[in-house]
């Protein structure tokens, strides 16, 4: 707990002077005074960005509910003289995008993407960065308000960290927000290889604390079939669209209890694409970005949304009450962003009668060639289409009813009543009669639905009618 007494003691120790105390007291008085002029507010904001006061380190579970990184981890820290000390190690990692597809990428601490950095507004953080890559690098703390020399833009704010070197970054967090971190040296290559992660700063006095708080980085890659290294030169045709560097069916579901207040923080560090992320079954509000959480009053007037556009270089935190049990899709709504590696390179075969041309082409011209299905892609994943080693079919994975014809940026929110743990509870068990199903003859007759053309009429299906 931060009491006025230890806060002032600490503030005094850090800033060392009555002038500083006066400023803090004045700021507090300002806060109590809702009629502060715009000039006062601007000055106050300016002062807060400049001063370097730190609070005692925020404690997980006490000051905040820790964030969950699906398919990822939180970066551990230790506290040394009141400072949270972290260590990132940039290195090559053999990363699995989903079972069956691996590549040599660049990440941090043995992971792609890097672990989520988590701290609290007012924390002093010291982050060591060791470079075990074959190239020089830097780390930029995207969205974090900090002194210029800690901003990590190679050449502008510091010299690049050479292979084998360890750099020290240190600053005090003076905001709460959903931030990110990434290489800011040869960005196209290094971000294209995976050097990024989330950087969550919790408020010290949370307005309302979420029960479940998820963090997901959106990114995109070019990994040619048959290769094991992403191609960062790609500018338009990305073929792996990922959530925390995983593609469906490799994305861990987000498990929540019915009635939980759920926050999902989405950060987009894709090279070239914005992602409209659509959540099924719920309405949410956008409650924050890389520039901080919205005030309670602002959130009240925020409109409800079903999708949120997460542009490149931005973050969006959404919040909702999970009030609708089931297995709910959450995915990018760009249809090419829910395809996997091989879905992007097929000749259009819709409506074509291929005969055995696919087989002929495969044998004679292009070993390993496959054509798109003549009614689409769905049947190709489902039928267990043969794929070359270390590659994935275009779409999907097995679901409770059928093959799920979605890949890429696709995840599942599992809302359940009466959970005793947040382990994956398996597929949702629907109440009787609450699943879309084949219409019966009686249904059609009762409601006067005429079915013609390609679909057999129910009455002609039963031969005894005509006998
Ligand atoms: Cu997208």
Domain positions in the chain are: 4-50, 78-332, 438-467
pLDDT at 312: 95
Sequence-distant (≥ 6) Cβ neighbours of residue 371 within 8 angstroms:
346, 347, 349, 354, 357, 358, 361
The label of the residue with tokens 């798109």 reads: 372
pLDDT at 395: 65
Orientation angle between helical segments 18-32 and 38-50, nearest 10 degrees:
140
Distance 331 CA to ligand 1 centre (A): 8
Q: Which two tokens stand for residue 249?
A: 């069916």
The residue ranges of the chain whose pLDDT is under 50 are: 1-34, 361-371, 454, 457-467
Distance 398 CA to ligand 1 centre (A): 22
Distance 415 CA to ligand 1 centre (A): 24
Exposure letters 340-362 (e unless 16+ CB within 10 A, then b): bbbbeeeeebeeeeeeeebeebe
Distance 316 CA to ligand 1 centre (A): 14
Q: Which two tokens stand for residue 122?
A: 């007012």
Distance 314 CA to ligand 1 centre (A): 14
* Spatial contact of 139 and 154, defined as CB atoms under 8 Å apart: no
Distance 117 CA to ligand 1 centre (A): 24
* Spatial contact of 118 and 109, defined as CB atoms under 8 Å apart: no
Residue 242, SS3?
strand
Q: Which two tokens stand for residue 207?
A: 């307005």
pLDDT at 360: 52
Distance 248 CA to ligand 1 centre (A): 13
What is the chain's alpha carbon radius of gyration, rounded to the nearest angstrom? 26
Sequence-distant (≥ 6) Cβ neighbours of residue 9 within 8 angstroms:
none
Distance 453 CA to ligand 1 centre (A): 37
CATH class for domain 78-332? mainly beta
Nearest-angstrom CA–CA distance, 269 and 141: 13
Residue 31, SS3?
helix
Distance 58 CA to ligand 1 centre (A): 35
Q: Give the count of beta carbons closer than 10 Å to the beta carbon of residue 439.
A: 12
- Which secondary-structure segment (H or E) carries 324? none
Could you please report the per-residue DSSP string of 38-107? HHHHHHHHHHHHH----PSPP-BTTTBPPPB-TT--BPP-EEETTEEEEEEEEEEEEEEEETTEEEEEEE
Q: How is residue 464 annotated by DSSP?
A: G
Nearest-angstrom CA–CA distance, 405 and 220: 19
CA atoms within 13 A on the CB side of 93: 19
Distance 406 CA to ligand 1 centre (A): 13
pLDDT at 374: 57
pLDDT, tens digit, 9 for 90 and up, residues 45-58: 555 555 567 889 99
pLDDT at 451: 85
**CA dihedral sign of residues 148, 149, 153, 154:** positive
Distance 374 CA to ligand 1 centre (A): 26
Sequence-distant (≥ 6) Cβ neighbours of residue 77 within 8 angstroms:
84, 85, 86, 119, 125
């Amino acid at each position: 707990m931060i009491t006025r007494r230890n806060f002032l003691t600490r503030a005094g120790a850090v800033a060392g002077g009555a002038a500083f105390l006066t400023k803090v007291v004045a700021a507090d008085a300002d806060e109590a005074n809702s009629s502060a002029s715009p000039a006062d507010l601007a000055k106050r904001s300016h002062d807060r960005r400049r001063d370097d006061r730190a609070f005692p380190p925020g404690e997980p579970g006490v000051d905040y509910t820790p964030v969950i990184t699906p398919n990822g981890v939180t970066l551990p820290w230790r506290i040394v003289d009141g400072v949270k000390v972290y260590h990132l190690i940039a290195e090559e990692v053999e990363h699995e995008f989903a079972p069956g597809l691996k590549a040599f990428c660049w990440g941090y601490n043995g992971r792609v993407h890097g672990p989520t950095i988590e701290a609290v507004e007012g924390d002093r953080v010291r982050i060591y960065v060791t470079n075990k890559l074959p190239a020089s690098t830097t780390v930029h703390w995207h969205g974090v308000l900090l002194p210029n020399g800690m901003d990590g833009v190679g050449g502008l704010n510091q010299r690049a960290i050479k292979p084998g070197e360890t750099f020290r970054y240190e600053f005090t967090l003076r905001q709460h927000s959903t931030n990110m971190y990434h290489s800011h040296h040869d960005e196209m290559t290094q971000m294209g290889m995976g050097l990024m992660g989330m950087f969550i700063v919790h408020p010290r006095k949370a307005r309302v604390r979420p029960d479940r708080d998820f963090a997901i980085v959106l990114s995109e890659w070019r990994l040619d079939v048959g290769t094991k290294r992403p191609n960062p030169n790609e500018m338009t045709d990305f073929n792996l669209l990922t959530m925390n560097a995983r593609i469906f069916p490799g994305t861990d579901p987000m498990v929540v209890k019915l009635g939980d207040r759920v926050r999902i923080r989405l950060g987009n560090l894709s090279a070239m694409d914005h992602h409209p992320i659509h959540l099924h079954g719920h309405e949410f509000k956008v409650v924050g970005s890389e520039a901080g959480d919205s005030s309670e009053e602002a959130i009240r007037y925020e409109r409800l949304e079903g999708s949120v556009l997460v542009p490149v270089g931005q973050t969006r935190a959404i919040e909702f009450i999970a009030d609708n049990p089931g297995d709910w899709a959450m995915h990018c709504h760009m249809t090419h962003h829910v395809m996997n590696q091989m879905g992007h390179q097929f000749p259009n075969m819709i409506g074509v009668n291929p005969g055995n041309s696919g087989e002929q082409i495969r044998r004679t011209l292009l070993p390993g060639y496959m054509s798109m299905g003549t009614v689409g892609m769905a049947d190709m994943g489902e039928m267990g289409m043969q794929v070359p080693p270390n590659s994935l079919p275009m779409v999907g994975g097995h679901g409770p009813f059928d093959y799920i014809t979605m890949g890429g940026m696709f995840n599942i929110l599992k809302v359940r009543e009466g959970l005793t743990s947040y382990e994956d509870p398996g597929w949702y068990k629907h109440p009787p009669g609450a699943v879309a199903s084949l219409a019966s003859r009686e249904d059609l007759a009762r409601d006067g639905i005429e079915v013609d053309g390609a679909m057999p009429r129910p009455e002609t299906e039963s031969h005894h009618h005509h006998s």
